[in-house]
Chain A
Amino acid sequence: MSAISREEVSHLAMLARIDLQPDELDRLAAQLDVILDAVATVTQVAGEDVPATSHPMPLTNVTRPDEPRPCLTQEEALSGAPAAEAGRFRVPRILEED
């Protein structure tokens, strides 16, 4: 089930929005193969009847009272922005040309 190809790593990198270099793709494919081999044991130990646990504490729907409270100012919220304009985050275009 493991055996992860260079093409697969390239696809995953695209999904994760990381532009990996060709040498990184080769190295990661080899390393991920070893890691996936090692972790594959998890598929063999738990039977159908074992429920999944996603969280150490059984908590559901924790909410706080819906009341106004102080928060960051606009200036503070923008203080770490790579680019800002007119009190807003300035971001690159989101659509391809044509």
Chain B
Amino acid sequence: MTGTTLPADLTRATAAGLAQALAAGDVSAVEVAQAHLDRIAAVDGTRDADGVATGRAVHAFLHVCAESALADAKAVDDARAAGQTLPALAGVPIAVKDVMATRGLPTTCGSRILQGWVPPYDATVVANIRAARMVVLGKTNMDEFAMGSSTEHSAYGPTRNPWDLDRIPGGSGGGSAASLAAFETPLATGTDTGGSIRQPASVTGTVGVKPTYGAVSRYGLVALASSLDQAGPCARTVLDTALLHQVMAGHDPMDSTSLTGEYPDVVAAARAGATGSLDGVTVGVVRELSGDGYQAGVLRRFEESLAVLTEAGAKVVEVSCPSFTVALAAYYLILPSEASSNLAKFDAMRYGLRVEPGGVAVPTAEQVMGATRAAGFGDEVKRRIILGTYALSSGYYDAYYGSAQKVRTLIQRDFAAAFGQADVLVSPTSPTTAFPLGDKLENPLAMYLQDVATIPANLAGVPGMSLPSGLADEDGLPVGLQILAPAGADDRLYRVGGALEAILTARWGGSVLDRVPDLSAALATAANGATR
């Protein structure tokens, strides 16, 4: 019995569709893996011996593990042929952000300081993915140590946006988002410290969720800012995102901040949302997260989404969160402070790069650390470590770090008050569509503003989703809608997101990603071709 009709090109299928077809025996896991590996070979481009992207291609992957992917896929097919009952997503391909430790696969975090490092263990998230018998295709590019909003801070060259190869795919998880928009994988993982899942989703026309803080284990993730970091799912549809969310989330004794107790059923919520009805749901529009500084086309799509939510039966009200206007400032003190401490572990002693300083016969450990960190860290990482060291130094600690922590309290209070009036909050995810590569590299502050709407959720630990709300009229590039819910109520994101997606795709006659330009054509014209 066949439950679904898969598209002729398997890379255009959803994860849900693939899972169903695999279970029904309509397609083999090896065929599915091979189709995606072929697509990667066709559009992802090449890297030089030092790992740096060459030529004009997507460059979403830092490392592709074709051999192990096909072996994993074959094992799934064999198990199924032997009559074993397999997990729902068995045989479905996935790309893993390079911030997650993968046993036997390189993990660089986009940094030179970890070039060539092969972890001896799996992050819990990766272990969960393997236990679900999903097929890992490779590791995706990111801003170095997840610091950035464009992937331009990767030591291995930027990822390019499949919508326009001369624009950024967002960051830090631009590799994961671009791999989805380029149909190189149906699912990918991300981490979101200030918007690194949601902003890339927004500018690539994909879906991404930052779960409630503590819902997904941080064990085995290279830490950026431990009180803000949260891993989550990335996909092309709300249901696919929910399916991966359920695999990734769960209590983990290896992470002392892991949530205990009940986890909501996000897959059921996504299915309920897909009926398109939001009767009885109150949606709050955050006054401080739109208006000045937001691109006109972004605001137009946002207004349209509000009309759709009303049409679906939701009551739309305005709420005010005055402290959100200083969230960005608080974040850029808290994050560098925690990062400066977390990144102290890269000391050239136990793993990673070791550089001996010149001009010293027998250097001390301290001199080796100084030389290694100078050579191994990029500009943005150095900038944030120095800023964090400053904010934590005596004499400034109370004024900067102490004040930022108080702002965090105010933000939590604003969220509590807003969720007293509304079930979910909405805003544009990012103030702009994808900007050209290089546009904000010389102006760190302008880059930081990309995350103005996503950062409050991290400071308060609440969950957030970004999903496509259409294309901006002025540039034809994707716009994202952000949905925020109270801590622990991740299911509400999927209910509301599922409804919005159902109505919008019906109106458009398909997904927003049906309108991604034909990459094969774009790449055929590139000088070097694009075969790996």
Q: A residues bordering B, Cβ < 8 Å?
A: 1, 4, 8-9, 12-21, 24, 28, 31-32, 34-36, 38-43, 45-46, 50-57, 59, 62-64, 72, 76-77, 79-83, 89, 91-97
Contact = CB atoms under 8 A, between A and B. Distances in A.
A15 B389 contact: yes
Given A12-B386, A28-B383, A56-B460, A62 B374 contact: no
B383 A32 contact: yes
Interface in B348-406: 348-354, 357, 362-371, 373-374, 377, 379, 382-383, 385-387, 389-390, 393, 399-400, 402-406
Given A57-B487, A77-B120, A83-B354, 4 more contacts: A18-B370, A42-B400, A46-B406, A54-B408
Contact of B444 (A31, A59, A72, A89): A31
A62 B382 CA distance: 33
Q: Which of A9, A31, A63, A95 has the most CB of B within 10 A?
A: A31
A97 B364 CA distance: 9
A18 B354 contact: no
Contacts of A92: 362-365, 367-368
B332 interface: yes
B350 A81 contact: yes
Contacts of B344: 16-17
B120 A79 contact: yes
A18 to B, nearest CB: 4
B227 A55 contact: yes
A63 B118 CA distance: 29
Contacts, number: 177
A17 B373 contact: yes
A96 B364 contact: yes
B250 interface: no
Contact of A62 (B256, B400, B459): B256
Closest 6 CB pairs of A and B: A56-B461, A80-B351, A46-B406, A82-B354, A52-B405, A76-B120
B350 A12 contact: no
B528 interface: no
Given A39-B332, A93-B364, A12 B389 contact: yes
Interface stretch (B11-19, B28-36, B270-278, B323-331): B323-331
B406 A17 contact: no
Interface string B304-334: 0000000000000000000100100110110
Contact of A52 (B214, B371, B408, B460): B408
Given A1-B399, A57-B257, A80-B117, A41 B329 contact: yes
B386 A32 contact: yes
A51 to B, nearest CB: 6
A43 B322 CA distance: 15
Q: Which of A17, A32, A72 has the most CB of B within 10 A?
A: A17
A61 to B, nearest CB: 9
19 contacts: A12-B386, A16-B385, A17-B344, A32-B383, A39-B329, A39-B400, A45-B403, A46-B403, A46-B410, A52-B402, A52-B405, A53-B406, A56-B227, A56-B487, A72-B120, A76-B121, A77-B120, A79-B118, A82-B351
Interface residues of B, number: 70
Nearest to A10: B386
Interface of B: 117-121, 213-214, 227-228, 253, 256-257, 259, 323, 326, 329-330, 332-333, 340, 344, 347-354, 357, 362-371, 373-374, 377, 379, 382-383, 385-387, 389-390, 393, 399-400, 402-410, 412, 444-445, 459-461, 487
B8 to A, nearest CB: 44
Contacts of A28: 382-383, 386
A84 to B, nearest CB: 10
A95 B362 CA distance: 11
A13 B118 CA distance: 29
B330 A42 contact: yes
B326 A56 contact: no
Contacts of A76: 120-121
A62 B386 contact: no
Contacts of B227: 54-56
Contact of B389 (A16, A50, A64): A16
A45 B347 CA distance: 37
A93 B383 CA distance: 29
Contact of A54 (B330, B403, B405): B405
A12 B390 CA distance: 7
A41 B331 CA distance: 12
A64 B386 CA distance: 35
B445 A35 contact: yes
B409 A53 contact: yes
A28 B326 CA distance: 23
Contact of B213 (A56, A64, A77): A56
Contact of B404 (A12, A42, A80, A93): A42
A32 B348 contact: no
Nearest to A54: B405
Contacts of A13: 386
B158 to A, nearest CB: 20
A45 B386 contact: no
A12 B340 CA distance: 11
A53 B412 contact: yes
Contact of A17 (B354, B369, B487): B369
